[in-house]
């Protein structure tokens, strides 16, 4: 079945939306998009293109995408150079052109990752409509708060695309490809498709603030410091928790939901009307809306099926396949980066080479503590190098430079610029 605009199925909802007089006080009261709607002139210009590319919710959030893009670009071009020169007068003004550009990119990344992670956690705890979504709504449903989060992320990916295009000689084709693929895959949420999971997978970025801080400490000549060690411990633990444990589990859940949606699409293809399809997908939500006690609750629940007309054709097989492939690649990268960290740790704890002088018993505790600190620092440096190769184009000039940053005695031999 072909996808239909919302008007194609609104007749069904109007015919069956006589709200029951009996309303339940236990109905959830949720949140709409906290940002004001776009101006009419902007919506009118964007909507034809949004419908053409089958991204209907984009017309509700295009102003947020543009504001986010402008904000990130302002931080990169104005705020970061101005504030960094004031806060770090002995370092930032003396950086070479490439490192200064990388500094500004890292500032934007730090601000963006902190912002979207905070917003994602707020949505997950406060958006009651999202919490109450069933398996169908987790695929096809929509809430304004999740759309707002997707807009902020999309604005960053557009910024990333612009920077990687302008500076392709510095960052390379890899960063450009990453920017394009990230923007493309994340735009699926504007269909809407797995809108529910946008805050879930944004939390992959919980480790990014610590990764950026690690990079800044290197450039501030604080490599090997206690501050970098504490930050490194947080980086490694958060990376393992949010990307491997949380990320893998949530991937299993989204695979299950998408398989259900795909199977349902094949079954629903025999139904004759869009209204029948919408009953199968959003029937439970309509009942919840009927039980609302106030206008706010009613609007919030009705927003979940606001784009029901675009669910009439089910979910395309190619869309599920693309999403799964992108998710598998990302998870594989996370496991690869973690394996490199583990490899770095194991190198430290291998026994002494034959002929090496053994350490006296009274110094064992001190040396073990010193080695533990170097393990964390080297593992964090390994992660920063490996992830930087893909996401920030921060490729060391010399191979193996990270492993040589800190020796067993704790002195810095060379720093990356």
**Token pair for residue 289?**
């809306």
14 lies in some domain:
no
Q: How confident is the model at residue 111 (pLDDT cuts 50, 70, 90)?
A: very high
pLDDT single digits (tens) 166-195: 988 887 887 788 788 888 888 999 999 999
Number of structural domains in the chain: 1
Structure-derived torsion over alpha carbons of residues 81, 83, 85, 87, reported in degrees to the nearest 10: -150
Structure-derived torsion over alpha carbons of residues 33, 35, 41, 44, reported in degrees to the nearest 10: -20
Q: pTM of the full predicted structure?
A: 0.79
Burial pattern 185-216, b for ≥16 Cβ within 10 A else e, equals: bbbbbbbbbbbbbbbbbbbbbbbbbbbbbbbb
5 lies in some domain:
no
18 lies in some domain:
no
71 lies in some domain:
yes
**Which residues constitute the domain of residue 317?**
31-348+360-391
137 lies in some domain:
yes
47 lies in some domain:
yes
**CB-based contact 166:147 (threshold 8 Å):** no
pLDDT single digits (tens) 47-85: 999 999 999 999 999 999 999 999 999 999 999 999 999
417 lies in some domain:
no
In this prediction, residues 362-370 reach a mean pLDDT of 46
Quote the pLDDT of residue 303.
84
pLDDT single digits (tens) 294-303: 787 788 788 8
In this prediction, residues 233-246 reach a mean pLDDT of 90
387 lies in some domain:
yes
**What sign has the CA pseudo-torsion 296, 297, 299, 304?**
positive
pLDDT single digits (tens) 113-122: 999 999 999 9
């Amino acid at each position: 079945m072909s996808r239909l605009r919302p008007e194609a199925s609104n007749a069904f909802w109007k015919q069956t939306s006589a709200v029951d007089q009996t309303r339940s006080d236990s109905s959830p009261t949720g949140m709409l998009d906290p940002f004001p709607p776009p101006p009419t002139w902007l919506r009118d210009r964007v909507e034809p293109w949004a419908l053409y590319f089958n991204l209907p919710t984009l017309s509700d959030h295009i102003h947020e995408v543009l504001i986010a893009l402008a904000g990130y670009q302002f931080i990169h071009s104005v705020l970061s150079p101005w504030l960094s020169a004031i806060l770090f007068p002995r370092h930032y003004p003396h950086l070479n052109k490439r490192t200064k550009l990388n500094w500004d990119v890292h500032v934007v990344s730090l601000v963006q990752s902190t912002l979207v992670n905070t917003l994602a956690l707020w949505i997950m705890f406060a958006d009651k409509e999202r919490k109450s979504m069933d398996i169908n709504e987790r695929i096809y449903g929509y809430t304004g708060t999740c759309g707002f989060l997707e807009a902020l992320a999309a604005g960053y990916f557009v910024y990333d695309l612009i920077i990687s295009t302008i500076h392709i000689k510095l960052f390379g084709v890899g960063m450009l490809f990453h920017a394009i693929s990230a923007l493309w895959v994340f735009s699926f949420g504007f269909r809407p498709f797995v809108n529910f999971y946008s805050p879930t997978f944004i939390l992959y970025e919980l480790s990014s603030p610590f990764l950026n801080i690690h990079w800044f400490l290197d450039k501030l000549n604080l490599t090997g410091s206690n501050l970098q060690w504490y930050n490194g411990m947080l980086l490694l633990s958060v990376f393992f928790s949010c990307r491997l444990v949380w990320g893998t589990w949530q991937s299993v859940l989204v695979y299950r939901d998408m398989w259900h949606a795909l199977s349902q699409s094949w079954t629903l293809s025999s139904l004759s009307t869009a209204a029948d399809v919408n009953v199968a997908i959003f029937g439970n939500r309509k009942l919840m809306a009927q039980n609302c006690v106030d206008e706010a609750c009613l609007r919030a629940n009705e927003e979940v099926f606001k784009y029901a007309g675009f669910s009439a054709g089910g979910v395309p097989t190619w869309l599920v396949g693309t999403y799964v492939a992108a998710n598998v690649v990302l998870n594989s990268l996370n496991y690869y980066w973690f394996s490199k960290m583990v490899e770095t740790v194991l190198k430290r704890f291998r026994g002494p080479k034959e002929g090496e002088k053994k350490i006296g018993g009274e110094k064992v505790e001190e040396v073990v503590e010193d080695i533990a600190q170097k393990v964390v620092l080297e593992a964090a440096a390994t992660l920063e190098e490996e992830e930087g190769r893909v996401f920030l184009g921060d490729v060391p000039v010399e191979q193996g430079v990270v492993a040589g940053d800190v020796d067993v005695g704790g002195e810095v031999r060379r720093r990356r610029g």
